[in-house]
Chain A
């Protein structure tokens, strides 16, 4: 094998490797690690948290009402709330971009941005 052949092979391998690095970089950027949990209260931003760090956060409203947000293993749920209907507490945990848990009585919306994309466009409920 000539020296140039070696250079060619190594070059191709390096290029393929670089391509994979780029692709992976995009994947990481868009699946998980960068995902943020956003909380708004009455339309105003309340807080933003990483989905990859487990935590429990009490969303406290000025009037004393609250929702307890739980982030665990990349999933987000409401473990406890002061509202009457408890729809937020009963809501299944969320994980994908665009999914939301809403507490209408407390006007709290918990959402996910920059997370994994799901194939669901809409959620038909009551």
Chain B
């Protein structure tokens, strides 16, 4: 072989290698590579998501960034462990061995104070705060009234032909046992006592959101970042996406027959939460009218001014309570409430699809 032939051969080999290289390069550039914020860290962070449906009787979704699936799974297990604790503490329907929970408090109404974990006292104190702040539009002591609606709703969705409304008389009687001052907290003794034997607590308007916030606070303290948690549609975030851009949150369209799955998208920054209340998921129908699960403490009937109300604020517990409260208010009342809280934004959606926003909602 002469020199020229060898040169040609080398060029040919190099050329083939270059083509293979180009294919790989093309493939590689196509990948959305996410870089960690910390430029000193050479490790590549990937996005992971997961979901499960065995906590809080709803769907939990987690979006996070990790070096590999194992790391992510570890974080998920961590989150799940925390959520299960709150699920058991804040349950009003089930008993758990060795745990006094909200149901235990209810079972002992008028009988005896119940010794509970400080996490339960924290929730009840927070819920009381929410009661005062919302002028009673969120009342965890309304369990006796909500129980009646719950029974009728269950029966009505089970057998739609026979669906009927509770009697106003019964609702009024139950409403006599909803005085928040009868919820007696003894911080020192670590007990909660319902003075009124017919009172029942229902933490449906605060429990999930409060638990979500506590879990996020815990994760933040543990050093987790760039994380999105959805507890049955209560969205809460730590940090931003790994590339520094905002998390993009879609808000569900209350019109389920629409092809548009969502009616609005919002960006949330570190620590912000999005929570919606509406009549489109838990409801039953009597004589062609929809009766949802959110009960107005004044009328003792389901609120029905809006199809949905969404709240954005920096505390998931508040977001949860405020969305229920604002859903229970007229637009004017709700607007005044939202405007008087500088860090709270809201979107009202009417049944015809009209959307009204507070000043900073879309910022």
What is the interface of chain A, defined by CB distance below 8 A to chain B?
11, 14-16, 18-27, 30, 43, 84-85, 87, 90-94, 98, 100, 102, 104, 107, 109, 111, 117, 119-126
Chain B residues whose C-beta falls within 8 Å of the C-beta of A98 in the assembled complex: 49, 63
Chain B residues whose C-beta falls within 8 Å of the C-beta of A11 in the assembled complex: 15, 18
Chain A residues whose C-beta falls within 8 Å of the C-beta of B282 in the assembled complex: 85, 126
Chain B residues whose C-beta falls within 8 Å of the C-beta of A87 in the assembled complex: 281
Which 9 residue pairs are nearest across A and B when measured between Cβ atoms? A22-B26, A26-B30, A125-B233, A92-B261, A22-B23, A125-B252, A90-B256, A23-B26, A18-B22
User: Nearest chain-B residue to A28 (Cβ)?
Assistant: B30
Contact A92–B23 (Cβ < 8 Å): no
Chain B, residues 22-65, CB within 8 Å of chain A (1/0): the string is 11111111111000000000000000010111100111010100
Contact A123–B26 (Cβ < 8 Å): no
Shortest C-beta distance, B6 to chain A (Å), equals 17
Given A85-B157, A109-B51, A126-B233, do A120 and B265 touch, yes or no (CB 8 Å)? yes
Shortest C-beta distance, B24 to chain A (Å), equals 6
Shortest C-beta distance, A61 to chain B (Å), equals 14
Contact A91–B256 (Cβ < 8 Å): yes
Asked whether B248 is an interface residue with its Cβ less than 8 Å from the other chain, the reply is yes
- The residue from A27, A94, A124 contacting B250, defined by CB atoms under 8 A apart: A124
Shortest C-beta distance, B152 to chain A (Å), equals 14
Chain A residues whose C-beta falls within 8 Å of the C-beta of B53 in the assembled complex: 43, 102, 104, 107, 109
Interface size (B, Cβ < 8 Å)?
60
Most buried by B among A18, A87, A102: A18
User: Nearest chain-B residue to A98 (Cβ)?
Assistant: B49
User: Nearest chain-B residue to A27 (Cβ)?
Assistant: B30
Chain A residues whose C-beta falls within 8 Å of the C-beta of B54 in the assembled complex: 43
How far is B277's CA from A11's CA once the two chains are assembled, in angstroms? 62
Contact B51–A123 (Cβ < 8 Å): no
Asked whether B171 is an interface residue with its Cβ less than 8 Å from the other chain, the reply is no
Shortest C-beta distance, B351 to chain A (Å), equals 15
- The residue from B52, B63, B251 contacting A121, defined by CB atoms under 8 A apart: B63
- The residue from B31, B57, B276 contacting A125, defined by CB atoms under 8 A apart: B276
Asked whether B189 is an interface residue with its Cβ less than 8 Å from the other chain, the reply is no
User: Nearest chain-B residue to A16 (Cβ)?
Assistant: B22
Chain A residues whose C-beta falls within 8 Å of the C-beta of B24 in the assembled complex: 22
Contact B274–A124 (Cβ < 8 Å): yes
A-B contact pairs, 26 of them (CB 8 A): A15-B22, A18-B22, A18-B23, A20-B26, A21-B26, A24-B26, A25-B23, A43-B54, A85-B281, A92-B253, A100-B61, A104-B57, A109-B51, A117-B32, A120-B250, A121-B228, A122-B237, A123-B249, A124-B275, A124-B276, A125-B232, A125-B252, A125-B281, A126-B232, A126-B276, A126-B308
Given A18-B23, A121-B63, A123-B250, do A92 and B258 touch, yes or no (CB 8 Å)? yes
Asked whether B143 is an interface residue with its Cβ less than 8 Å from the other chain, the reply is no
Q: A22-B22, A90-B257, A124-B235 given; name 6 further pairs at CB < 8 Å.
A: A11-B15, A19-B25, A25-B27, A92-B253, A124-B233, A126-B280
Most buried by B among A21, A90, A92, A126: A126
Chain B residues whose C-beta falls within 8 Å of the C-beta of A123 in the assembled complex: 61, 230, 233, 235, 249-250, 252, 261-262
Shortest C-beta distance, A16 to chain B (Å), equals 8
Chain B residues whose C-beta falls within 8 Å of the C-beta of A100 in the assembled complex: 51, 59, 61
Chain A residues whose C-beta falls within 8 Å of the C-beta of B237 in the assembled complex: 122
Contact A22–B25 (Cβ < 8 Å): yes
User: Nearest chain-A residue to B236 (Cβ)?
Assistant: A122
Asked whether B19 is an interface residue with its Cβ less than 8 Å from the other chain, the reply is yes
How far is B59's CA from A43's CA once the two chains are assembled, in angstroms? 12
Shortest C-beta distance, B47 to chain A (Å), equals 9
Contact A121–B249 (Cβ < 8 Å): yes
Contact A19–B26 (Cβ < 8 Å): yes
Shortest C-beta distance, A109 to chain B (Å), equals 7
Chain A residues whose C-beta falls within 8 Å of the C-beta of B233 in the assembled complex: 123-126
Chain A residues whose C-beta falls within 8 Å of the C-beta of B261 in the assembled complex: 91-94, 123
Contact A104–B256 (Cβ < 8 Å): no
Asked whether B318 is an interface residue with its Cβ less than 8 Å from the other chain, the reply is no
Asked whether B144 is an interface residue with its Cβ less than 8 Å from the other chain, the reply is no
How far is B52's CA from A101's CA once the two chains are assembled, in angstroms? 12
Contact A23–B230 (Cβ < 8 Å): no
Chain A residues whose C-beta falls within 8 Å of the C-beta of B63 in the assembled complex: 98, 121-122
